[in-house]
């Protein structure tokens, strides 16, 4: 079954609101194996709405419309649907009586404008709305089903439960759709793409989605059909993708983040971490401490923005900075070892770089970043030099991401039996 | 001019993502008096995208497409646009050379898949993308203009600035609609709403928007019509709103953030800052150092997550922690004074609290946070105790926000002639 969602409301075309109702509907559709083909937002224009519906009717099996069922003059969904289907509106006595009762029970007389909400499209089934004045409607036309829902989220949710879900359940006959995720850090999207290419052939290109965001790749695998085939297929996809992507996959659990995975490794090993940050300015510590319970393994850190603090807080020799510059491999190594030693942790991270926009030189352009991970024994320091593209924010985010990924790999290696 | 926005990407049809790019585009369109008629989200299907474009072409003057310009097989916007316009794709040597240079500068060989990004629709103007590998394109067809943009927000923003805004400015003959902003920190939305209520009557409710987000309120005033009336009206609104909201308004410049305003005050006074953070775990330092040039006034900070580090790094007496607990007024004061003294800055901030979800007690529930600001002279320490609602992330963000606002007010007071 193919579906489309249409959100009606000029306020949804402004600069500060998004159609969040569609996320609620999408979750329900996905659980019943309905494929969402498109969603659209249209203003309170009868002509535009009717035009969109006419275009959708022959192309999908299910159209979910939200909004535009209120009592005011700019609520035109009822008229637009009638126009698109070539039908008329009629006043529904039962709906009108119900509306009047609603207002009476609140001690008010029903305003005249609310009569509009008792207008029903010919042939529609009225869907009672216990949470508001706008009833929903269900209509059929040449094998396509339309649901009209109010745009108020709580009212929509009520009707999803009482009207949409039972209807979907009756039709889907247990067929469903499931998604699994693999998260990858520190690899470019195109490298991941090359690695997993064989899986596209094996499972189909539509079944696998790849999303990139500042040093983080998200692979999504989707399987449809009845159990137990669906589950087996999903597991086969995840296994194959994990095999192809290799040890760059840091988790297959949606709730994990790179920093929570690093935290779990630290906790499992009973080891502790500290960090000395220059160009990231606390971003790494902030991500690590964003994880609940991180005080189990993260002792703290130093934001050593000035050269003096690199020396004072984590013991980087002033001569080393003078000789190599603050952004250099020796200083990054000294920061990682220094913070580990000064703050008495098993592991230490040092990050120093030029995030920009100022501060770059021909030898050390903006984006030059040195990252070092020290531990768990004295003198065991790993170093990477990066030349990162992008603006200040991106250089900082990328640096923190790479530092976490370096740490993860070191922790994994340390956890292996010698 | 009528416009439509089309966001491409199957991930935007899932249950956890919305097309937030459209908000950025909508703001720019509104400033240039362009009417947004509709927006739609479509999956990575060449046929669906081409179908949508064919339907839009005769109906609007401007189509903005985001996403689907990546290197991978599911990035099909280029092909779909070519199909919708009945044109072909050709490899662009300049784009290819630029792509290869990008990878070389990172020390990587360009993966074969990235060649797809050098495919350009016949007749398109290539829009160079300094922030990523996917160039944008501009096309004309029977009086309708199409812009193709990458979906990565920072890349989109770059191209909006370098390509879309100049194009709009040339066509709109100047801005038809203008928005001014007033940013406010540390006040609840309802308090701001009460204060500015008279302005609703004076200028109309539609002209003023109020948006709230974790300790930050954004007031937007909008004026339309020709110059000079529009400008005069906007200035009158800003003056009146600033008068009503009072000294809680920290800026009327869009580009300012609370941390950049604090930075400007520090720089103007020639003073320096350090921070000792416990529950915020580096979030404050990360915000301050996110501002370019912050090394002028921010020396660094200590993330003193453990009690030992509170003592070791910023000299909080162990006895004070034992007596009052780590989350207490005396410890926050000692952190602020201690970090200022130990790291030799004019100002010092100390934050200690319980961000949750664990760690709360009946006397000190989750959300209890103590913030202290010390300086510029010894012993001048201001303290606030907060009981913040919300989850870990919200408590942390709110705490950093309040700390910055306390600092801003202290800096303003210190700048006044005695």
The alpha carbon of residue B263 is apart from the nearest alpha carbon of chain A, in Å, by: 15
Q: Are residues B247 and B272 in the same domain?
A: no
For residue A332, the 8-state DSSP code is H
pLDDT over 80 at A175, yes or no: no
Nearest CA in chain A to B116: A190
Nearest CA in chain A to B277: A300
Q: Are residues B87 and B19 in the same domain?
A: yes
Q: Distances in Å between the alpha carbon of B317 and those of A345, B312, B326, B331, B337?
A: 21, 9, 11, 9, 12
Q: Are residues B24 and B162 in the same domain?
A: yes
Q: Are residues B327 and B355 in the same domain?
A: yes
Q: Are residues A262 and A362 in the same domain?
A: yes
B84 vs B193, residue with greater confidence: B84
CA dihedral B56, B58, B61, B67 (to 10 degrees): 30
For the segment B213-217, the average pLDDT, to the nearest whole number, is 85
For residue A14, the 8-state DSSP code is S
**In angstroms, rounded to a whole number, what is the distance separating the alpha carbons of residues A86 and A51?**
12
Restricting to B residues 107-166, those with a Cβ less than 8 Å away from any Cβ of A are: 107-108, 111-114, 131-132, 152, 154
Of B106, B282, B343, the CB nearest to A301: B282
> Which residues make Cβ contacts (< 8 Å) with residue B99, sequence separation at least 6?
B110, B114, B115, B117, B118, B133
Contacts of A357 in chain B (CB under 8 A): 292
Q: Are residues B233 and B93 in the same domain?
A: no
pLDDT band with cut points at 50, 70 and 90 for residue A225: confident
Chain A interface, mutation test: which of B9, B272, B303, most A Cβ atoms within 10 Å? Answer: B303
Strand partners, A130: none
Minimal CA–CA distance to A372: which of A401, A342, A334, A398? A334
Answer yes or no: do B300 and A309 touch at CB < 8 A. Answer: yes
Chain B interface, mutation test: which of A280, A286, A348, most B Cβ atoms within 10 Å? Answer: A286
DSSP three-state, residue B137: strand
The alpha carbon of residue B205 is apart from the nearest alpha carbon of chain A, in Å, by: 14
CATH, residue A382: 3.90.950.20
Determine how many CB atoms are found less than 10 A away from the CB of residue A97. Answer: 11
Angle at B407 between CA B402 and CA B413, to 5 degrees: 130
Q: Is the dihedral of CA A328, A393, A216, B96 positive or negative?
A: negative
Contacts of B213 in chain A (CB under 8 A): none
Cβ proximity of A6 and A66 under 8 Å:
yes
By the CB < 8 Å criterion, does B228 face chain A? no
DSSP three-state, residue A209: strand
pLDDT over 70 at A194, yes or no: yes
The alpha carbon of residue A177 is apart from the nearest alpha carbon of chain B, in Å, by: 12
Q: What is the mean pLDDT of chain A?
A: 93
Of A293, A309, A396, the CB nearest to B299: A309
Return the HEC string of B142-174. Answer: CCEEEEEECCCHHHHHHHHHHHHHHHHHHHHCC
Of B40, B71, B357, the CB nearest to A38: B40
The alpha carbon of residue B309 is apart from the nearest alpha carbon of chain A, in Å, by: 7
Cβ proximity of B304 and B335 under 8 Å:
yes
Helices (H), A131-186: 153-159, 165-172
Q: Are residues B278 and B408 in the same domain?
A: yes
| Residue range of the domain that includes A207 | 176-251
For residue A396, the 8-state DSSP code is H
Restricting to B residues 165-204, those with a Cβ less than 8 Å away from any Cβ of A are: none
The alpha carbon of residue B307 is apart from the nearest alpha carbon of chain A, in Å, by: 9
Restricting to A residues 8-27, those with a Cβ less than 8 Å away from any Cβ of B are: 13-16, 18-20, 22-23, 26-27
Answer yes or no: do A390 and B283 touch at CB < 8 A. Answer: no
Cβ proximity of B218 and B196 under 8 Å:
no
- pLDDT tens per residue, range A311-345: 999 999 999 999 999 999 999 999 999 999 999 99
By the CB < 8 Å criterion, does A207 face chain B? no
Of B18, B111, B285, the CB nearest to A303: B285
For the segment B39-58, the average pLDDT, to the nearest whole number, is 94
Answer yes or no: do B299 and A282 touch at CB < 8 A. Answer: no
pLDDT of B156 reads 96
* Portion of chain B with pLDDT greater than 70, in percent: 99
**In angstroms, rounded to a whole number, what is the distance separating the alpha carbons of residues A209 and A257?**
19
In which residue are the tokens 């108020």 written? A152
Contacts of B36 in chain A (CB under 8 A): 13
**In angstroms, rounded to a whole number, what is the distance separating the alpha carbons of residues B418 and B415?**
9
CATH, residue A114: 3.40.980.10
Answer yes or no: do A300 and B284 touch at CB < 8 A. Answer: no
pLDDT band with cut points at 50, 70 and 90 for residue B52: very high
Answer yes or no: do B15 and A27 touch at CB < 8 A. Answer: yes
The alpha carbon of residue B271 is apart from the nearest alpha carbon of chain A, in Å, by: 14
**In angstroms, rounded to a whole number, what is the distance separating the alpha carbons of residues B14 and A76?**
28
Restricting to B residues 327-386, those with a Cβ less than 8 Å away from any Cβ of A are: 343-344, 356-358
The alpha carbon of residue A348 is apart from the nearest alpha carbon of chain B, in Å, by: 14
**In angstroms, rounded to a whole number, what is the distance separating the alpha carbons of residues A171 and A165?**
10
ipTM of the complex: 0.77
DSSP string, A125-142: EEE--TTSS--EEEEEET
By the CB < 8 Å criterion, does B296 face chain A? no
Cβ proximity of B294 and B261 under 8 Å:
no
For the segment A35-56, the average pLDDT, to the nearest whole number, is 94
Q: Is the dihedral of CA B341, A350, A327, B290 positive or negative?
A: negative
In terms of average pLDDT, the best of A125-129, B71-75, B188-192 is A125-129
Q: Are residues A230 and A341 in the same domain?
A: no
Rg (CA), chain A: 29
In terms of average pLDDT, the best of A221-230, B32-41, B236-245 is B236-245
Q: Where a domain ends, among A172, A204, A229?
A: A172
Answer yes or no: do A306 and B289 touch at CB < 8 A. Answer: no
**What is the number of CB-based contacts under 8 A between chain A and chain B?**
231
Answer yes or no: do B26 and A13 touch at CB < 8 A. Answer: yes
pLDDT over 70 at A418, yes or no: no
Q: Are residues A337 and A372 in the same domain?
A: yes
For the segment A56-68, the average pLDDT, to the nearest whole number, is 95
Cβ proximity of B333 and B316 under 8 Å:
no
Count of domains in chain A? 3
By the CB < 8 Å criterion, does A394 face chain B? yes
* Portion of chain A with pLDDT greater than 90, in percent: 75
CATH, residue B213: 3.30.70.2860
pLDDT of B32 reads 86
**In angstroms, rounded to a whole number, what is the distance separating the alpha carbons of residues B218 and B211?**
5
The alpha carbon of residue B274 is apart from the nearest alpha carbon of chain A, in Å, by: 9
**In angstroms, rounded to a whole number, what is the distance separating the alpha carbons of residues B382 and B415?**
17
**In angstroms, rounded to a whole number, what is the distance separating the alpha carbons of residues B408 and B418?**
17
Minimal CA–CA distance to B223: which of B174, B180, B178, B182? B178
Cβ proximity of B249 and B181 under 8 Å:
no
What own/partner pairs with CB < 8 Å and gap ≥ 24 does A224-233 have?
A: A224/A33, A224/A175, A224/A176, A224/A177, A224/A178, A225/A33, A225/A175, A226/A174, A226/A175, A226/A176, A227/A174, A227/A176, A230/A176, A230/A177, A230/A178, A231/A178, A233/A203
pLDDT over 70 at B165, yes or no: yes
- Per the structure block, which two tokens stand in for B301? 């900070």
Q: Where a domain ends, among A108, A143, A172?
A: A172
Chain A interface, mutation test: which of B15, B80, B219, B404, most A Cβ atoms within 10 Å? Answer: B15
The alpha carbon of residue B277 is apart from the nearest alpha carbon of chain A, in Å, by: 9
pLDDT of A4 reads 97
pLDDT of A341 reads 96
Residues B76-111, buried b or exposed e (16+ Cβ, 10 A)?
A: bbbbbbbbbbeeebeebeebbebbeebbeeeeeebb
Q: Are residues B241 and B336 in the same domain?
A: no
Q: Where a domain ends, among B251, B270, B285?
A: B251
Restricting to B residues 52-81, those with a Cβ less than 8 Å away from any Cβ of A are: 52, 55, 70-74
By the CB < 8 Å criterion, does A387 face chain B? yes
By the CB < 8 Å criterion, does B403 face chain A? no
Chain B interface, mutation test: which of A38, A348, A394, most B Cβ atoms within 10 Å? Answer: A38
Q: Are residues A231 and A265 in the same domain?
A: no
Cβ proximity of B256 and B250 under 8 Å:
yes
Q: Are residues A53 and A182 in the same domain?
A: no
Q: Is the dihedral of CA B393, B394, B399, B404 positive or negative?
A: positive
pLDDT over 70 at B175, yes or no: no
Contacts of B14 in chain A (CB under 8 A): 26, 30, 179, 220
Q: Distances in Å between the alpha carbon of A39 and those of A156, A159, A169, B269?
A: 17, 19, 22, 53
């Amino acid at each position: 079954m193919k579906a489309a969602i249409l959100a009606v409301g000029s306020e949804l075309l402004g600069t500060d609101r998004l159609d969040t109702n569609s996320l609620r509907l999408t979750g329900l559709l996905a659980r019943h194996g309905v494929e969402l083909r498109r969603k659209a937002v249209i203003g309170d224009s009868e002509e535009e709405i009717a035009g969109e519906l006419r275009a959708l009717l022959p192309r999908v099996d299910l159209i979910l419309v939200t909004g535009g069922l209120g009592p005011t003059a700019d609520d035109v969904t009822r008229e637009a649907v009638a126009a698109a289907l070539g039908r008329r509106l009629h006043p529904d006595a039962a709906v009108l009586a119900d509306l009047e009762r609603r207002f009476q029970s609140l001690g008010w007389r029903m305003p005249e404008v609310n009569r509009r909400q008792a207008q029903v499209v010919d042939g529609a089934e009225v869907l009672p709305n216990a949470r508001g004045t706008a009833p929903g409607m269900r209509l059929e036309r040449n094998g396509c089903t339309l649901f009209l829902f109010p745009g108020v989220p709580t009212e929509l949710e009520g009707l999803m439960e009482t009207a949409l879900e039972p209807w979907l359940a009756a039709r889907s006959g247990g067929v469903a759709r499931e998604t699994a995720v693999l998260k990858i850090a520190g690899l470019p999207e195109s490298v991941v793409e090359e690695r997993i290419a064989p899986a596209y052939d094996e499972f189909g290109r539509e079944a696998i989605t790849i999303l990139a965001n500042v040093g983080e790749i998200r692979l999504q695998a989707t399987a449809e059909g009845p159990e137990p085939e669906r589950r087996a297929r999903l597991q086969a996809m995840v296994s194959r993708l994990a095999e192809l992507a290799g040890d760059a996959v840091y988790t297959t659990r949606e709730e994990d983040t790179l920093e929570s995975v690093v935290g779990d490794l630290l906790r499992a090993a009973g080891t502790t971490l500290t960090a000395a940050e220059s160009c990231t300015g606390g971003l790494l510590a902030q991500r690590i401490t964003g994880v609940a319970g991180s005080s189990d393994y993260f002792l703290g850190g130093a934001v050593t923005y000035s050269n003096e603090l690199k020396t004072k807080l984590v013991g980087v020799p002033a001569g080393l900075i003078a000789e190599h510059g603050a952004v250099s491999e020796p200083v990054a190594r000294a920061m990682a070892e220094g913070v580990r030693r000064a703050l008495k942790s098993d592991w230490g991270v040092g990050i120093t770089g030029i995030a920009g926009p100022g501060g770059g030189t021909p030898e050390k352009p903006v984006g030059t970043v040195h990252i070092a991970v020290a531990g768990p024994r004295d003198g065991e320091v790993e170093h990477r030099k990066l030349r990162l593209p992008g603006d200040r924010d991106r250089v900082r985010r990328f640096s923190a991401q790479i530092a976490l990924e370096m740490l993860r790999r070191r922790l994994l290696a340390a956890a292996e039996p010698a």
